[in-house]
Structure 1
Amino acid sequence: MSETLLPKKEWIPTIHSHFRLQWEETQQAYVLLYPEGMIKLNFSGGEILSRCNGKSTIQTIIEDLQHQFPDAHNIEQDVLEFLSIAFGKQWLTTYD
């Protein structure tokens, strides 16, 4: 069962070592691979997780997405909600 975790903007998320994020050309989507299978991410999830590189803070990720998608609404809230789920599923870990 996943627990809800409210991410902090100063955290520096990275993909947990049990997972690997990669672009899957045949599916035209990012996928999260793990020993038992694969999770196909939607466009937004792929854009967010692709920035979780262990170097950028959550605040930087939000700002980058706001710059890349200036017409999108509620990016900050959407990113924080998605990251909360991703941390809860243990797809991510953080340096803080």
Structure 2
Amino acid sequence: MLLLPERVVVLCGNAGSVVRLCDGSREVDEIVAELGERFPGAPVADEVPAFLTALRKEGWLQ
């Protein structure tokens, strides 16, 4: 769940796992690598960068 001014965003699926890793100390490649280890066979290399781009466009992530 993301708490934003005047709204709440409920994250579905493994979105929370991605957002938790966005702590300012990791690059996107590092997030993808870590999630790839946690979820072998999942298409994280394709989906995670696109997801993070969408979050940036919404202004939810800098």
Asked if Structure 1 and Structure 2 have the same fold, meaning a TM-score greater than 0.5 normalized by the shorter chain, the answer is: yes
The match for 2:10 is: 40
5+ unaligned residues in a row in structure 1: which ranges?
Answer: 1-30
- C-alpha RMSD of matched pairs (Å): 0.9
Considering fraction of residues, name the structure with more helix. 2
Q: Which has the higher strand share?
A: 1
Query: Over residues 11-48 of structure 1, what are the superposed CA-to-partner deviations in whole Å (9 max), with x where a residue is unaligned?
Result: xxxxxxxxxxxxxxxxxxxx000120200001221111
Structure 1 segments (4+ residues) deviating >3 Å: none
Structure 1 distance, partners of 2:32, 2:61, is 16
Q: After the TM superposition, which residues 6-85 of structure 1 pair with which residues of structure 2 at under 5 Å, given as runs?
A: 31-72=1-42, 74-85=43-54
- Using the aligned pairs only, state the percent identity: 29
Bigger Rg, structure 1 or 2? 1
Aligned to 1:21: none
Structure with more relative contact order (C-alpha pairs < 8 Å, separation 6 or more): 1
